[in-house]
Amino acid sequence: METAEIVRRFLAFFEQNEHTVVPSASLVADDPTLLFVPAGMVPFKPYFLGQRTPPYDRATSVQKCIRTVDIDEVGKTSRHATFFQMLGNFSFGDYFKEKAVPLAWKLLTTPVADGGFGVDPDRLWVTVYLDDDEAERIWREEVGVPADRIQRFGVEENYWSMGVPGPCGPCSEIFYDRGPAYGAEGGPVADENRYVEIWNLVFMQYERGEGGAKKDYPILGELPRKNIDTGMGLERLASLLQGVDNIYETDTLGRILQDTAARTGVAYGADERSDVMLRVVADHVRSATMLVSDGVRPGNEKGGYVLRRILRRSIRNLRLLSGTDASFLHDLTETAISAMSGIYPELRGNADRIHEVVDTEEKNFSDTLRSGTALFGRAAERTRGSGSAQISGADAFQLHDTYGFPIDLTLEMAGEQGLSVDEDAFRRLMQEQKDTAKRDAKAKKLGNADISTYAQLLEGSGATDFLGYTDAESESRVLGLIVDGAPVTAARAGDKVELVLDRTPFYAESGGQLADKGTVAADGRGTVDVDDVQKPIAGLFVHRGTVRSGEIAVDDRVHAVIDSDRRASVSRAHSATHLIHSALRNALGPSTGQAGSENRPGQLRFDFTANKALAPAELAEVEEEVNTVLAGDIQVRDFETSLDEALSMGALAMFGEKYGDRVRVVEMSDYSRELCGGTHVNATGQLGIVKLLGESSVGSGVRRVEAAVGLDAFRRLSKESLLVGRLSEQLKAPREELPQRIDTMVSRLRAAEKEIEKLRAAQVLQAAEGLAAGAREHGSALVVAHRAPDGTGADDLRRLALDVRGRLGEDRPVVVAIAGVSKDRPVVVTAVNKAGQAAGLRAGDLVGVAARALGGGGGGKPDVAQGGGNDATAVGAALRAVEQRVSEAP
């Protein structure tokens, strides 16, 4: 049975049993305590916590999930995966154990011809919590599971909570017996390799208090409304129904794995090491495809870091498998899209964007591998220079963390050069990083209290009525006040306060548009200066500001007024953003998409996807096109419609953004049509003028343009005109000739600087003969230890050291140490001839001695090395330290 058919049957079964089919939420979690959705119940968490009233009593879903904690284990076992899908059915105070248990059994065991999964009931085992006699009785008496196939487990296995105070309760799990070939008899308690868990039924019937995540917390009592939360791994069920040994051989992952094997020329099943790599690629390519489809882009933080890591692991494994640096990722991504589009048809519509992101990251990582190889070479050189055969954990961690260089690659390259890596130190640094991330995540959980406070306000008073599209002021009522994170009944002068109103003209920051500012005043009582407005949860506008005077209280009637001039200026910037978006698509092609924006008074920035910088001529064309549209004074129209209708009209949607069934469309004739909730001008002529200020890179495959709009653009142009006028006057040249005149001056200046550099270098090298003549004996070696004039650069120091060494010949050991101070930082270069190296003297060792005296470090080859430090007063001590080390040499 194909995976798509499993999904169809599961949802159809529960829909027939009066469950609302809920589409999968985005992989990017709405919950601020989570990076990605890690479980099927997460989108329903506010309902289980009582923060919001569910719109249905029963629900069913197939939820996309990502778990990152076991990335390093992916491919090594038959069960670990980064991306997986969770089948689930949920009851919010409707039915409980007596209904959930028979439903699960019926779906699993009903014959395929009758719409079920056709699992042999004699191969199913059940576990219940230690004292959950009720669940055991239902399984035994109502379902008919033999008592000897029902086993009891403790709190670690069969009791569930969210890890924080709230709902909790016992679990009941269904296991499938794979047969004696997979392990010992005796049920799940005997062998969980043979008996595989396929479905977990959670019975939320109690409320827990503070305590540990898994245990050691008090049970405060029974919940007034008991809930059901079940989860069945789609991939694991598919492996059983398709008769394969693990999830990597199912029809979806298996297609990607087999394509990987075919393209790299490696047979699956021939070697465990290559099998692991093939499984890693299959999992990671599918995971990356799903993440990119949900709007995640590679980066160095949060979700972007996870995506970048799994893409780079894929590329690295593909190179190891194939033995080449050929590019396979584009084709494998297409295979993943094809394999998963039967369940998620939106992948086809997002295919161009997915390929663009993945292809760009593959190219960038190829560049990283080249630069990382050079960095590794320097680390290896430093290691040998210090007399060690082990690359430090710090170097390995820097390669991994800063440059994205995989540790397995570092280990392999070190082995090829006869070196090892201090893996213990590397692991410690990695653990410190993980511990820091965990502490940050734990700190973020403190936001739960705030979310609950907002949720209670929304639950008690309903969504805020936003009037800002038509009104700049309103008569409103204060529904809630929050000071220092806690609800209050009143706030007084000087208090930093958050207000929730029943209706408001204030725009809450979203879609790149900054929030409105203004005032909220209770007649004769008090005034609040509002400087920010946010929507911490959907539908609730929270006005943040300071009580300027008097007092404001819950239930006060207030007059809310926005700063209209500021709003108009921000709206001009937002409308300009839409025009720039269209002009960029016209210039670069339809694959160019918005990747972020910020609209503030009179200015904007717009981030867009592109693999290369815009040429100045292209930027000028975009600017001219936008201003031509302004001159046409096109009417700006907004309206609401269904999402499907908007997309069929060609409206652009923000890639990865979440939209409801009803959407707002903002259109400027046929030139621009986008889904947008922001505020805009009535006609493009109101923008006045748009001036592009520049274009730059802000990340992998993402560029940014910045612009000034309206009066801000005029002021900018006025200042530039004044500056050009002054330059024209000073250089005695017409404005149109300024570029050529300045280019000529810059060329002359550079030529003069090069000439000065040559003269200075020659002057430094003139000292070589005298330095060689002044060499002194230290032990069996001739030593020159010299401080060069301040300002001498590292390259000149190196040339001087090599010149002096060459003049002293190879008849006996020679050591040259030249130090200087350039830009307030000391630099030292050491050089040793072949006779000195044969005598056991190494330039890398000696420069290390000098650099430590300077408060720094360094390294290099045995014949020449360079180092530096922070203490410019210690140059003399550094040179003496070199002399002392040579004197002590055997």
Binding positions are: 574, 578, 676, 680
Q: What is the DSSP letter of 841?
A: -
Tell me the HSE value of 560 on the side-chain side, using a 13 A CA sphere.
Answer: 31
Helix (H) / strand (E) element for 826: namely: strand 825-832
Task: Name which of 678, 714, 307 is nearest 507 in CA terms.
Answer: 678
Give the sign of the dihedral formed by CA 275, CA 279, CA 280, CA 285: positive
Two tokens at 773? 């003549």
Helix (H) / strand (E) element for 88: namely: strand 83-92
Q: Three-state DSSP class for 807? A: helix
Give the integer Cα–Cα distance in Å for 535 and 781.
75
- Strands 781-787 and 814-822: what pairing? parallel
List, as own/partner pairs, every contact residues 876-879 make where C-beta atoms lie below 8 angstroms and the sequence separation is at least 24, other chains included.
Answer: 876/787, 877/853, 878/819, 878/826, 878/828, 878/849, 878/850, 878/851, 878/853, 878/854, 879/785, 879/786, 879/787, 879/817, 879/819, 879/828, 879/850
Residues making up the binding site for Zn(2+): 574, 578, 676, 680
Evaluate whether 429 touches 394 at the Cβ level (below 8 Å). Answer: yes
What phi, psi does 840 have (nearest 5°)? 95, 5
Please state, as a whole number, how many other Cβ atoms lie within 10 Å of the Cβ of residue 717. 13
Two tokens at 88? 């689930």
Burial 141-173 (b: 16+ CB within 10 A, else e): eebebeeebbbbbeeebbbbbbeebbbbbbbbb
Give the integer Cα–Cα distance in Å for 385 and 403.
23
List, as own/partner pairs, every contact residues 100-105 make where C-beta atoms lie below 8 angstroms and the sequence separation is at least 24, other chains included.
Answer: 100/201, 100/203, 100/228, 100/230, 101/135, 101/138, 101/139, 101/142, 101/143, 101/172, 101/201, 102/138, 102/142, 102/143, 103/14, 103/17, 104/174, 104/199, 104/201, 104/230, 105/143, 105/145, 105/174
Give the integer Cα–Cα distance in Å for 844 and 353.
49
List, as own/partner pairs, every contact residues 756-763 make where C-beta atoms lie below 8 angstroms and the sequence separation is at least 24, other chains included.
Answer: 760/796, 761/796, 761/799
Please state, as a whole number, how many other Cβ atoms lie within 10 Å of the Cβ of residue 508. 21
Q: Three-state DSSP class for 120? A: coil
Task: Name which of 673, 641, 671, 639 is nearest 659 in CA terms.
Answer: 641
Q: Radius of gyration over alpha carbons of the chain, in Å?
A: 34
Evaluate whether 735 touches 722 at the Cβ level (below 8 Å). Answer: no
Q: Three-state DSSP class for 3? A: helix
What phi, psi does 309 have (nearest 5°)? -65, -45
